[in-house]
Amino acid sequence: MIPINMPILGGEEEENVLKVLRSGNLTGRVSEGGMVAEFEKLFSKFLGTKYAVAVSSGTAALHASLLALGVGPGDEVIVPSFTFSATCNVVLHVGARPVFVDIDLDTYTMNPNEVKKALTSKTKAIIPVHLYGHPADMKPIKEAAEEEGIYVIEDAAQAHGAEYSGVKVGGIGHLGCFSFYPTKIITTGEGGMVVTNDDELAERVRMIRNQGEKGNYETILLGHNWRLPETNAAIGVAQMKKIDEFLAKRRRNAAYLTELLGSINGLVLPFEKGAVRHAWNTYTVRLENRRLKRDDVVSLIRKLGVGATVYYPVPVHQTPLYKERGYSNVLLPNTELASKTVFSLPVHPSMTKEDVEAVALAVKRSLDALAPSP
């Protein structure tokens, strides 16, 4: 099976982890010149932001960002529903109310016009998600936020290295959040990063990840233990040396897959909309042929040895937790359509030319086999 994503781990990762184990210093808490500090330095340089603060997961990055901005009970946060649940769960965790908006079907990211319609006097923040690696339309979102004095937290968990108008995503809003889960562009096993250009916000995130302490045992804020272990950062340091190569290979594979799939009737291929650079965390297509069932197509492709995967079959607002909290009547037509019709294909950097050809062939064969006879 060609998996949907697969981390590339080699000698440098092993060497770095061994260095940490041999040093006996496993936590970034006390190591000024350790792997966490090095990982942060490499990541902020790559992103072009003043600060990068490493945390224990992408979820912790989002949660810490909301806490750093002081978002809490009585506040509303605008989020897409077509995303991984963590984007929305963190809003509930801080006691604020997620307000769901619909997506643009070309990019699967939040529609800026819907964002404008959802603004109220209670809106405190907007969380655009750069889903699958395609940047959300940041210019109108940022303009709407600036007009109203609202914060923007980018969920760039799937979009390391993606660009919007020449700027890497994550560095466009007040805060940007990344995940290093093994299916992401680079991995640390589990891990996350918050990036920002704001001195005070960076300092607050740093305190929040470490029990709210400023100095040693000087608790200023209510924080957590969201520190990234040195062993994880050691993997991240090695991965950062390869990130440009990973992105170039994903880009090459995506372009070849587009060329091979050509124009298949009823299958909408992903593309870069506007002045953006996709990170191609997945190659996500949409089935427009209503006579075919998406799940049948996906299971046939999988039988042919290609790990086609559905992200996300249920929009967050329709999951049991959110229904219980009163979101069942929210209408998001594009979100609902996407959740029923998209599926993702692999374009990860360890794939060969032959692998990409196998993916295209499996898709074509499955669609042909399932097409109703005339």
- Which parts of this chain interact with ligand PLP (CB under 6 A)? 57-59, 83-84, 86-87, 129, 155, 157-158, 179, 181, 192
Residues 6+ apart with CB under 8 A from 56: 190, 191, 192, 209, 225, 226, 227, 228, 229
Rank residues 38 and 155 by Cβ distance to ligand PLP and give the closer one. 155
| Cβ atoms within 10 Å of 95's Cβ, excluding its own | 12
CB of 82 to ligand PLP, least distance (A): 10
CB of 192 to ligand PLP, least distance (A): 5
Helical pair 230-240 and 35-47, crossing angle rounded to 10 deg:
40
CA 26 to chain CA centroid, nearest Å: 27
Rank residues 99 and 193 by Cβ distance to ligand PLP and give the closer one. 193
Beta bridge partners of 100: 79
Rank residues 75 and 155 by Cβ distance to ligand PLP and give the closer one. 155
- Three-state secondary-structure class, residue 329: coil
Compute the 3-state secondary structure of the chain and give helix, strand, coil in percent, each to the nearest 5. Answer: 40, 15, 40
Rank residues 83 and 123 by Cβ distance to ligand PLP and give the closer one. 83
CB of 184 to ligand PLP, least distance (A): 7
Rank residues 84 and 151 by Cβ distance to ligand PLP and give the closer one. 84
CB of 300 to ligand PLP, least distance (A): 26
Contact 100, 327 (CB under 8 A): yes
Cis omega (within 30 of 0) on the bond before 181? no
Rank residues 16 and 83 by Cβ distance to ligand PLP and give the closer one. 83
CB of 61 to ligand PLP, least distance (A): 7
Rank residues 158 and 253 by Cβ distance to ligand PLP and give the closer one. 158
Beta bridge partners of 178: 193
CB of 185 to ligand PLP, least distance (A): 11
Rank residues 54 and 367 by Cβ distance to ligand PLP and give the closer one. 54
CB of 320 to ligand PLP, least distance (A): 20
CB of 81 to ligand PLP, least distance (A): 12
Q: In this structure, what token pair is assigned to residue 351?
A: 């794939």
- Three-state secondary-structure class, residue 342: strand
CB of 246 to ligand PLP, least distance (A): 17
Q: Which of 360, 333, 329 is nearest to 346 (CA)?
A: 360
DSSP for 59-114?
Answer: HHHHHHHHHHTT--TT-EEEEESSS-THHHHHHHHTT-EEEEE-EETTTTEE-HHH
CB of 368 to ligand PLP, least distance (A): 32
Contact 66, 90 (CB under 8 A): yes
- Three-state secondary-structure class, residue 241: coil
Alpha helices in the chain (DSSP H): 11-23, 35-47, 58-68, 86-93, 112-118, 138-148, 199-208, 230-240, 243-261, 294-303, 320-322, 333-341, 353-370
Rank residues 2 and 60 by Cβ distance to ligand PLP and give the closer one. 60
Rank residues 179 and 335 by Cβ distance to ligand PLP and give the closer one. 179
